[in-house]
Amino acid sequence: MTSARSFAALTLLAGVAAAALFILHLGLGTVWIPPDRVILALADRSTDPTDLSIVRELRLPRAILGLLVGCMLGLSGALLQVVMRNRLAEPGLTGVSTGGILAAVLFLAGTWGLPPPGRFLPFVVLLGALAGGILVLFASSTRGRIDPLRLVLTAVIVNAIFGSLTSIVMLRSQQALGSILSWLIGSLNGRVWDDVWLALPWAAVGIPAGLLAARPANVLQLDDESGRALGLPLQPARIALFGLAAVLAAGAVSVAGAIAFVGLMAPNAARAIVGADARRVLPLSALIGCVLLLAADLVAQSLSIKPPIPSSSYRVGLPVGAVLAVFGAPLLIILIRRSIR
Amino acid sequence: MNDVEPLRLAQVSAGYGQRMVLDGLDMGLRQGTITAIVGPNGSGKSTVIRAMARLLPTRSGVVLLDGRDIRSFGSRGIARLVSVLPQSPSSPPGLTVRELVELGRFPHTGLFGRVGVEGARAVESALTLTGLSDFAERPLDELSGGERQRAWIALALAQGAGTLLLDEPTTFLDVRHQFEVLDLIASLCASRGMTVVMVLHDLVHAANYAGRVVVMDSGRIVADGAPSTVLTAELMRTVFGVAAKIFTNPESGRSICLPIGTGRS
Report the distance separating Cα B224 and Cα B217, nearest Å. Answer: 12
Closest-CA residue of B relative to A3 is B137
pLDDT at residue B222 is higher than 70: yes
pLDDT at residue A154 is higher than 80: yes
pLDDT bracket for residue A309 (50, 70, 90): low
Q: What local confidence, expressed as pLDDT, does residue A89 receive?
A: 86
Report the distance separating Cα A92 and Cα A325, nearest Å. Answer: 11
Q: What local confidence, expressed as pLDDT, does residue A1 receive?
A: 38
Asked whether A18 and A287 are in contact (CB, 8 A), the reply is yes
Q: Which of A143-147, A173-177, B30-34 has the highest mean pLDDT?
A: B30-34
pLDDT bracket for residue B264 (50, 70, 90): low
Mean pLDDT of chain A: 85
What Å distances lie between residue A281 and A16, A35, A320, B61, B95, CA to CA? 18, 31, 24, 44, 11
Q: Which of A95-109, A143-157, B22-36 has the highest mean pLDDT?
A: B22-36
CB contact under 8 A, A277 and B106: no
Give the residue-averaged pLDDT of A190-199: 86
pLDDT bracket for residue A116 (50, 70, 90): low
Closest-CA residue of A relative to B82 is A229
pLDDT bracket for residue A308 (50, 70, 90): low
Higher pLDDT, A260 or A286: A286
- Conformation bin of residue B39: beta by default, left when phi > 0, alpha when psi is -120 to 50: left
DSSP helix, strand, coil percent of chain A (3-state; round to 5): 75, 0, 20
**pLDDT tens per residue across span B190-206:** 988 899 999 999 998 99
**pLDDT tens per residue across span B224-260:** 999 989 988 899 999 999 998 888 888 877 878 888 8
Distance of CA A125 to the CA centre of its chain: 13
Which three-class secondary structure state does DSSP give residue A18? helix
Report the distance separating Cα A253 and Cα A97, nearest Å. Answer: 6
Closest-CA residue of A relative to B161 is A230
Share of chain A above pLDDT 70, in %: 88
Asked whether A23 and A29 are in contact (CB, 8 A), the reply is no
Q: What local confidence, expressed as pLDDT, does residue B39 receive?
A: 93
CB contact under 8 A, B86 and A231: no
Mean pLDDT of chain B: 91
Q: What local confidence, expressed as pLDDT, does residue A277 receive?
A: 94
CB contact under 8 A, B78 and A228: no
pLDDT at residue A198 is higher than 70: yes
Taking CB atoms and an 8 Å cutoff, what residues of chain A touch B113?
215
ipTM of the complex model: 0.90
Q: What local confidence, expressed as pLDDT, does residue A113 receive?
A: 46
Chain A interface residues (partner B, CB cutoff 8 A): 3, 85, 212-213, 215-216, 218-219, 221-223, 225-226, 228-233, 271, 275-277
| Nearest beta carbon to residue B107 from set A221, A231, A275 | A231
Report the distance separating Cα A81 and Cα A281, nearest Å. Answer: 11
Q: What local confidence, expressed as pLDDT, does residue A105 receive?
A: 85
CB contact under 8 A, B94 and A233: no
pLDDT bracket for residue A114 (50, 70, 90): low
Contacts of residue A115, defined as CB under 8 A and 6 or more positions apart, other chains included, come to none
Higher pLDDT, A52 or B36: B36
**Chains A–B, number of C-beta pairs less than 8 Å apart:** 80
**Cβ neighbourhood burial of B64 (10 Å; 0-12, 13-18, 19+):** middle
CB contact under 8 A, B95 and A231: no
Give the residue-averaged pLDDT of A64-93: 91
CB contact under 8 A, A229 and B55: yes
Closest-CA residue of B relative to A237 is B111
**pLDDT tens per residue across span B94-107:** 999 999 999 999 99
pLDDT at residue A314 is higher than 50: no
pLDDT bracket for residue A340 (50, 70, 90): low
Q: Which of A43-52, A293-302, B31-40, B210-219 has the lowest mean pLDDT?
A: A43-52
CB contact under 8 A, B106 and A215: yes
Q: Which of A145-149, A199-203, A289-293, B39-43 has the lowest mean pLDDT?
A: A145-149
pLDDT bracket for residue B3 (50, 70, 90): low
Report the distance separating Cα B62 and Cα B50, nearest Å. Answer: 13
| Nearest beta carbon to residue B92 from set A215, A221, A229 | A221
> What is the least distance, in Å, from the CA of A172 to any CA of chain B?
47
**pLDDT tens per residue across span A99-110:** 998 988 888 777
Share of chain B above pLDDT 90, in %: 70
Closest-CA residue of A relative to B160 is A230
What B182-190 contacts at long range (C-beta under 8 Å, 24+ apart), as own/partner pairs, is B182/B208, B182/B209, B184/B129, B184/B130, B184/B131, B184/B150, B184/B153, B185/B34, B185/B153, B185/B209, B186/B34, B188/B129, B188/B157, B188/B164, B189/B32, B189/B33, B189/B34
CB contact under 8 A, B86 and A276: no
Q: What local confidence, expressed as pLDDT, does residue B83 receive?
A: 95
Give the residue-averaged pLDDT of A181-191: 75
Share of chain A above pLDDT 90, in %: 37
CB contact under 8 A, A277 and B95: yes
Phi and psi (nearest 5°) for B247?
-120, 170
pLDDT bracket for residue B7 (50, 70, 90): very high
Report the distance separating Cα A313 and Cα A298, nearest Å. Answer: 18
**pLDDT tens per residue across span A4-62:** 678 888 899 999 999 999 999 999 888 889 999 999 998 888 888 888 888 888 899 99
pLDDT bracket for residue B12 (50, 70, 90): very high
**pLDDT tens per residue across span B125-163:** 999 989 999 999 999 999 998 899 999 999 999 999 999
- Rounded to a whole number of angstroms, the CA Rg of chain B reads 19
Report the distance separating Cα A105 and Cα B1, nearest Å. Answer: 66
Higher pLDDT, A314 or B12: B12
Taking CB atoms and an 8 Å cutoff, what residues of chain B touch A235?
none
Taking CB atoms and an 8 Å cutoff, what residues of chain B touch A276?
91-95, 99
Q: What local confidence, expressed as pLDDT, does residue B254 receive?
A: 80
For Cα atoms B188, B177, B33, give the angle at the middle one, nearest 5 degrees: 25
Which three-class secondary structure state does DSSP give residue A178? helix
Report the distance separating Cα B178 and Cα B170, nearest Å. Answer: 5
Q: What local confidence, expressed as pLDDT, does residue A315 receive?
A: 47
Taking CB atoms and an 8 Å cutoff, what residues of chain A touch B55?
225, 228-229
